[in-house]
Amino acid sequence: MSKLAVLGGTPAVPRTQRGVEWPVIQDEDRKAVLDALDGGRLVSDTDGETPVTTLERQWAERFGHAHCVAVTNGTAALQLALASLGVGPGAEVIVPALSFIATGLAPLHNMAVPVFADIDPVTFNLDPKDVERRITPRTAAIIPVHLHGAPADMDGITDVARRHGLAVVEDAAQAPGATHRGRPVGSIGDMGAFSLQVTKNIPTCGEGGLLVTGDAGLAETARRGRQFGEVIESGKDRDYVSHQLGWNHKMNGLQAAFASAQLGRFDHYEQARQTNITRFLARLDGLPGLTVPKPLPGTTHVWHILRFRFDPAAAGLPGITDTAFRKALRRALRAEGVPMSQYQLMPLPDQTAFRDRLGFGRGYPWAALEPSAEHVPEHVPADSRAEYPVAHAVIRDSLTIQKRHLSPTSGELLERYAEAFEKVWENLDTVAKLAGARS
């Protein structure tokens, strides 16, 4: 049994092997950006093919979406999707209690109120039963997130949405390429949002987002909303007439060109990622007290982030709390060279903007839900632990390995990570001491 690195032993992952390249930038990416720069199509007020329209077409074709509208980033895509569906002041939007902050901010950006629902303990995605419990006459939409690259239970969510007449906007920022019963995520609901931010599975060289939908009318509304409410018609000069509320959410042509080049290599990368990660997880699956991520049956997981849950009792350490176990494992695994981290330190409803209702003006948009109230509604903090027990438990007893370490070129590195886990599990008595000393 080798000595743990946290006690001065040799780390399982040699320091010289820890570097990971992401995004992978090759000559064709550089050429794509330079060609776009020299191509004279840097603005979207011109008709015909531009790097942005090329990316929209390629994205729609590759994943099987009827319509694709490129925007500045994933958060803008979520906001514009809700706006295109008419979700605004007075409306509530149900979002998962575990996600990136943008999922909860997007309703606020439209003056609608995010309402949080608890998650499923296995997929970490919206629990349709808890969604149903939170529906009120003001609920207008649901935003299921395909968190970490795992499709949410779209059967359950679609069923709830249909029965209550709610719109569904999929937050697929972490899940391009994931499928649910053979259908691409993003187009199962009314609209879907993707992010091309540089850490995501298909990166651009900065920021970018895409909105997809199967509905031509919604796509047209989003297209106008992206550009000041204007209609940009092929073959005609821009007339600067605005037909609806609009924003400036136009994607930059250089970002689009880079993303197109990356999209061209995506299938190759995705195959490598599936092979590497399936092998890695299979190797860890038998360790007692460790739950590895698993996709729902009938879905493809695209492994944006790997979340591992830890159960001290199942690991044979019944006297240790889950928090103490997580902290000790984090210390031990990081010392071995595995970059374990927490993805989200708290459930979304505990983030300041939502907890303290920091919106616009005198308590809006929450105040808009009670237009007759003379005063801004007093905020009574909900008991978040009782309201979202699963989200709290998952944050307490899990750690993640994030995208940048799951690059398609990380096959060898993941083998070393597996050795580190095995080594730590051989030394659980030491982990117990670490946990005891720190709890």
Ligand X SMILES: *Cc1c(COP(=O)(O)O)cnc(C)c1O
Interface residue with ligand X, options 71, 145, 296, 432 (CB under 6 A) = 145
The greatest distance separating any two alpha carbons of the chain, rounded to the nearest whole angstrom, comes to 74
| Per-residue interface string for the shown chain with ligand X, residues 58-87, x marking contact by CB under 6 A | ---------------xxx------------
Could you say whether residue 124 binds ligand X (CB under 6 A)? no
* Nearest residue to 37 (alpha-carbon basis) of 313, 255, 222: 255
Could you say whether residue 225 binds ligand X (CB under 6 A)? no
Could you say whether residue 91 binds ligand X (CB under 6 A)? no
The count of residues in the chain is 439
Q: Are strands 179-180 and 183-184 parallel, antiparallel or unpaired?
A: antiparallel
| Least Cβ distance, residue 169 to ligand X (angstroms) | 11
Interface residue with ligand X, options 144, 177, 209, 312 (CB under 6 A) = 209
Could you say whether residue 420 binds ligand X (CB under 6 A)? no
The DSSP symbol for 68 reads E
| Per-residue interface string for the shown chain with ligand X, residues 25-64, x marking contact by CB under 6 A | ----------------------------------------
Could you say whether residue 23 binds ligand X (CB under 6 A)? no
Report the distance separating Cα 54 and Cα 257, nearest Å.
8
Q: By CB under 6 A, what part of segment 156-185 binds ligand X?
A: 171, 173-174
* Nearest residue to 81 (alpha-carbon basis) of 179, 164, 170, 185: 170
* Nearest residue to 77 (alpha-carbon basis) of 98, 50, 48, 56: 56
Contact 46, 233 (CB under 8 A): no
Report the distance separating Cα 33 and Cα 38, nearest Å.
9
Interface residue with ligand X, options 195, 227, 262, 291 (CB under 6 A) = 195
Pick between residue 197 and residue 342 the one whose CB is nearest to ligand X: 197
| Least Cβ distance, residue 173 to ligand X (angstroms) | 3
Number of chain residues interacting with ligand X (CB under 6 A) = 15
Pick between residue 32 and residue 102 the one whose CB is nearest to ligand X: 102
Token pair of 139, please? 């609920």
Could you say whether residue 123 binds ligand X (CB under 6 A)? no
Residue type, 271: Q
Interface residue with ligand X, options 68, 97, 102, 368 (CB under 6 A) = 102
276-287 as b/e: b if 16+ CB within 10 A: bbeebbebbeeb
- Judged by the rule CB under 6 A, the positions of this chain that interact with ligand X are 73-75, 99-100, 102-103, 145, 171, 173-174, 195, 197, 207, 209
